[in-house]
Amino acid sequence: MEKVRVRYPPSPTGYCHVGTARMAVVNYLFAKKHGGKIFFRSEDTDKERSKREYEEDIIEQLHWLGLGWDDFSRTTELVESHKTAMHKLVGEDKAYVSKEESKKNPGEFVEVVRLRNPGRSVTFTDVIRGDITFDTTELGDFVIGRAIDDPLYNFAVVYDDGTQGITHVIRGEDHISNTPRQILIQEALGFPRPVYAHYPLHLGADKSKLSKRTGDVAVRSYREKGFLSPALLNYIAILGWTPPSGKEILSLDEMVAEFELENLHKSGAVFDMEKLRWYNRHYLSEMSVEDFNAHALTVLRAAITARNLSWNDAGEKILSLIREKISVWGDISDLVAEGEFDFAFSAPVLDPAKIPGKGDDAAAGAKHLHHVRALLEKLSEADFRDSERVKAALWDYATEAGRGSVLWPLRYSLSGREKSPDPFLIASVIGKSSTIERVEIALNTLQSS
């Protein structure tokens, strides 16, 4: 194969969305697999909607995902060469300037440039979809410039692909309908035809078409929710591609080694948030305890403060619990907001009716709590640091008197919640004095009810 040259041609009219990232991933994998070059071309031809901010975001997010390129250009900065090429086509009579009545302002005449369309059928071979034939007669002599010095998008794309020596145009199938026009322009300009590969677009969870203007599919929003870049990269890569090995977890290098355009799916995958979370959980599980804890602590602390609770050392003691529970950093903030970890930072407000175990009355609840308090009193502060020792101290009694009857009141007294971690763990997090204090509060609450 001749030296591979591919392009990333995003239009900077919105933040980098998953679709942009997918386009880049597919092109990156293909280029790297074949030792090729990647041309990043910011197609900023839409003057109203294109923004430098969006271009910067696309660059930033692709870098964050670990994707690079070899060359960077902006379509508007290449416009002089587009004009020269269009003048040349007109000079060769392959295109012509035509004076036409404006559709917008009837009565007004404007100049447009039209390509002389030979009007035959055009067949191109698409690596993913096979042969595709278009009858181009119905396109007629289509417009390639709003004026001799104002070439249209399709013209610019073809000229840039040609001069950059692009060998493979790998893009979403939403561009298929542009291809016959682009091929006709390419032939008029005398550029060789690249290989085309149009892959199906992926769909939203509700099977709707994803839109780049919907903020929730912006790569930055996944990043803000705390997804790790290798997880998002891995998920985006397998969204519409199955590596021959069948592996689901792959590093970028492994993906490059396995990648072939032919293995891209022929129908559109549905973006599955649960699957993305599964990937993220996997990559989180690969983090060292130190790295995990350092990051989790920062997120936890900010969330606790945002909930107006005062931070204390118990925060560090729930990190292993957090590690079991979360799939993505943002889950920490969600769990904190739901009150899941309040037990570590403040004494709960108790509903007396909820203190006794199932089927027990207040007297039975109080009896068990009294007994539990006595058993806990015998433990030292140091014993409390180990939830297993707390459990050992209570287990025989709980087994004898009924686990639900004994452990429910304790757990509820410590957490104030019907669902929470087990009471031994909570006791070890909050320590001896707070544990005893909360049991006493529960006893007083029962008594005064």
By the criterion CB under 6 A, which residues form the site for ligand GLU? 9-11, 43, 157, 171, 175
Residue 121 CB, nearest distance to ligand GLU (Å)? 22
Residue 302 CB, nearest distance to ligand GLU (Å)? 36
Residue 43 CB, nearest distance to ligand GLU (Å)? 4
Closest CB to ligand GLU among 168 and 277?
168
Which pair of tokens denotes residue 33? 């697999």
Closest CB to ligand GLU among 9 and 421?
9
Closest CB to ligand GLU among 82 and 171?
171
Closest CB to ligand GLU among 10 and 423?
10
Residue 11 CB, nearest distance to ligand GLU (Å)? 4
The DSSP symbol for 203 reads: B
Q: Which pairs with CB-CB distance under 8 Å and at least 24 residues apart come from 335-339?
A: 336/300, 336/303, 336/304, 336/306, 336/307, 337/303, 337/306, 337/307, 339/417
Closest CB to ligand GLU among 197 and 427?
197
User: What pairing do the DSSP bridges indicate for beta strands 71-74 and 5-8?
Assistant: unpaired
d(CA 406, CA 23): 58
The DSSP symbol for 43 reads: -
> Phi/psi at 208 (nearest 5 deg)?
-85, 160
Closest CB to ligand GLU among 155 and 329?
155
Which pair of tokens denotes residue 353? 């009716």
Q: Where is 412: in which H helix or E strand?
A: helix 403-415
Residue 18 CB, nearest distance to ligand GLU (Å)? 13
CA distances from 250 to 18, 26, 238, 268, 328 (A): 18, 14, 9, 21, 19
Using an 8 Å Cβ cutoff, are 70 and 39 in contact? Answer: yes
Closest CB to ligand GLU among 175 and 281?
175
Closest CB to ligand GLU among 43 and 342?
43
> Phi/psi at 265 (nearest 5 deg)?
-70, 155
Of the candidates 85, 102, 75, the residue with the CA atom closest to the CA atom of residue 149: 85
Residue 40 CB, nearest distance to ligand GLU (Å)? 12
CA distances from 124 to 190, 344, 393 (A): 16, 65, 77
Residue 45 CB, nearest distance to ligand GLU (Å)? 8
Using an 8 Å Cβ cutoff, are 201 and 173 in contact? Answer: yes
Closest CB to ligand GLU among 175 and 225?
175
Residue 238 CB, nearest distance to ligand GLU (Å)? 22
Of the candidates 434, 416, 426, the residue with the CA atom closest to the CA atom of residue 349: 416
Residue 234 CB, nearest distance to ligand GLU (Å)? 23
